[in-house]
Copies of this chain bind each other. A is one copy, B any other.
Amino acid sequence: MIYADNAATTKMSEAAVNTMVSLIGDTYGNPSSLYAFGQKAKEALEKAREEVAEAIGANPREILFTSGGSEADNQALISAAKLGEKKGKKHIISTAFEHHAILHTLKKLEEEGFEVTLLPVHENGIVRPEEVEAAIKEDTALVTVMYANNEIGTIQPIREIGAICRKHGVLFHTDAVQAVGHIKVNVEEDNIDLLSASGHKFHGPKGTGFLYAKKGIKLTNLIEGGAQERGKRAGTENVPGIAAMATALKESVENLDAYAAKLTPIRDKIIAGLKEIPHSAINGDEESRVPSNINFCFEGIEGESLLLLLDDKGIAASSGSACTSGSLDPSHVLLAIGRVHDVAHGSLRLSLGEDITDEDADYIIKSVKDVVEYLRGFSPVWRDLVAGKGNFIL
């Protein structure tokens, strides 16, 4: 199998598995326990915190461990909203193509009386800093813009947006789930106040994540109870998982340059190959894009059937097709960059892993071409387009 769905989840690295298994065996104590065996677990926990902090240029005290990216996103937004509310600030700026962990939390906040502005992301899938600045109002409590989009891989001008937020004294959160471990992220240089990340997106375990909150930002609990995580996130700490996440993150960050050097040309080769398919189009900016992401729309076909046939050929990929989600609408991300429903249904995301080879790339290109051609072969939509009944969109 060529696993080309690393944006959905990744395989744990060997080093991360080793960290986890060894702690499960030797250091299973509760870090809140006083005896030496418990304190050993506490040490492992705090070492992980240091490693995670270092990987993003933060202070260990600024790292809160969560059960994943979604929890971190929820807690970041709820916390910022609470802080804003206290000062009478009830306006939040975000973008149209955030992850649902952001969008659905924003919706909840709207129901609680917050006003939310979703900025456009334009055809290239990139937010414009000047539009962020223009949207800031007297009562803006928070700007939240994802670091890299999970579907189309576009990297946002986080540093510039951060600088604008600093200038206006507005809190800035970024959902960096698709960025951390994949491209350089530094909370200090990038002017970030709050940042969410998820372990399983960078070869750490599922069910782990973290929230960075700059010193001085008071978090609100999502989970009440014990005094773990400075009282801001109750629940016995998943020390083996957290430490494994730290191991994976450290590895990934140390390896960033090699990762980019390896993946970028393969990504670009696949992009070039798929562009040869008539009436296809790449989704999202080609340059400002994580090294792993390829996303296309193919006119006249539907994404789920494309996926399933690629699966038969041993390629695991993803689609923004409505049919993959059980909803009627295709991906809100593709709609946000201006793809109309008709073609948004026919999308394909390939998110490469470090083990991809040049031969894999060739095989992927050929397979996608074959499957698209095959499906178009009995697509009434395609037939009509070719027959000149209706115009090609792509």
Which residues does A use to contact B, with CB under 8 Å?
1, 3, 5, 8-12, 17, 21, 24-25, 28-30, 32-38, 67-71, 73-74, 99-102, 104-105, 107-108, 198, 200, 205-208, 222-227, 234-241, 304, 307-308, 310-311, 316-319, 324-326
Q: Give chain B residues whose Cβ lies under 8 Å from the Cβ of A67.
A: 67-68, 71, 207, 223, 235, 238
Among B9, B28, B35, B235, the residue within 8 A (CB) of A12 is: B28
User: Of all chain B residues, which has the CB nearest A209?
Assistant: B235
Is the CB–CB distance between B70 and A225 below 8 Å?
Answer: yes
Once the chains are docked, how many angstroms separate the CA of A69 from the CA of B236?
Answer: 9
Q: Give chain B residues whose Cβ lies under 8 Å from the Cβ of A222.
A: 74, 222-223
Is the CB–CB distance between A34 and B308 below 8 Å?
Answer: yes
Once the chains are docked, how many angstroms separate the CA of A32 from the CA of B237?
Answer: 26
Once the chains are docked, how many angstroms separate the CA of A237 from the CA of B67?
Answer: 10
Is the CB–CB distance between A33 and B12 below 8 Å?
Answer: no
**Interchain Cβ contacts under 8 Å between A and B, 16 examples:** A10-B28, A17-B24, A34-B304, A34-B319, A34-B324, A35-B311, A68-B238, A70-B224, A70-B225, A74-B225, A100-B224, A101-B235, A205-B238, A206-B238, A206-B240, A241-B241
Once the chains are docked, how many angstroms separate the CA of A71 from the CA of B228?
Answer: 13
User: Of all chain B residues, which has the CB nearest A238?
Assistant: B207
Once the chains are docked, how many angstroms separate the CA of A319 from the CA of B32?
Answer: 12
Once the chains are docked, how many angstroms separate the CA of A12 from the CA of B25?
Answer: 8
Q: Give chain B residues whose Cβ lies under 8 Å from the Cβ of A11.
A: 28
Q: Give chain B residues whose Cβ lies under 8 Å from the Cβ of A223.
A: 67, 70-71, 74, 101, 222
Once the chains are docked, how many angstroms separate the CA of A222 from the CA of B105?
Answer: 10
Is the CB–CB distance between A37 and B1 below 8 Å?
Answer: yes
Q: A21 and B28 in contact (CB under 8 A), knowing A9-B236, A38-B8, A206-B237?
A: no
User: Of all chain B residues, which has the CB nearest A8?
Assistant: B30
Q: How far is the CB of A3 from chain B (nearest CB, A)?
A: 7
Q: Give chain B residues whose Cβ lies under 8 Å from the Cβ of A235.
A: 67-71, 101, 207
Q: A29 and B99 in contact (CB under 8 A), knowing A206-B239, A235-B68, A311-B35?
A: no
State the 8 A-B residue pairs at the shortest beta-carbon distance, nearest first.
A207-B238, A101-B225, A67-B67, A70-B235, A35-B311, A104-B224, A8-B30, A206-B238
Most buried by B among A105, A236, A237, A238: A236
Q: How far is the CB of A199 from chain B (nearest CB, A)?
A: 10
Is the CB–CB distance between B324 and A73 below 8 Å?
Answer: no
Once the chains are docked, how many angstroms separate the CA of A12 from the CA of B104?
Answer: 35
- Additional A-B contacts beyond A9-B30, A100-B225, A104-B225 (6; CB < 8 A): A8-B33, A12-B24, A34-B319, A37-B311, A71-B235, A100-B226
Is the CB–CB distance between A70 and B101 below 8 Å?
Answer: no
Once the chains are docked, how many angstroms separate the CA of A307 from the CA of B36?
Answer: 10
Once the chains are docked, how many angstroms separate the CA of A386 from the CA of B18?
Answer: 55
Q: A236 and B198 in contact (CB under 8 A), knowing A32-B8, A222-B222, A224-B104?
A: yes
User: Of all chain B residues, which has the CB nearest A228?
Assistant: B70
Q: A234 and B101 in contact (CB under 8 A), knowing A207-B208, A227-B325?
A: yes
Q: Give chain B residues whose Cβ lies under 8 Å from the Cβ of A237.
A: 206-207
User: Of all chain B residues, which has the CB nearest A35?
Assistant: B311
Q: How far is the CB of A89 from chain B (nearest CB, A)?
A: 21
Most buried by B among A17, A25, A206: A206
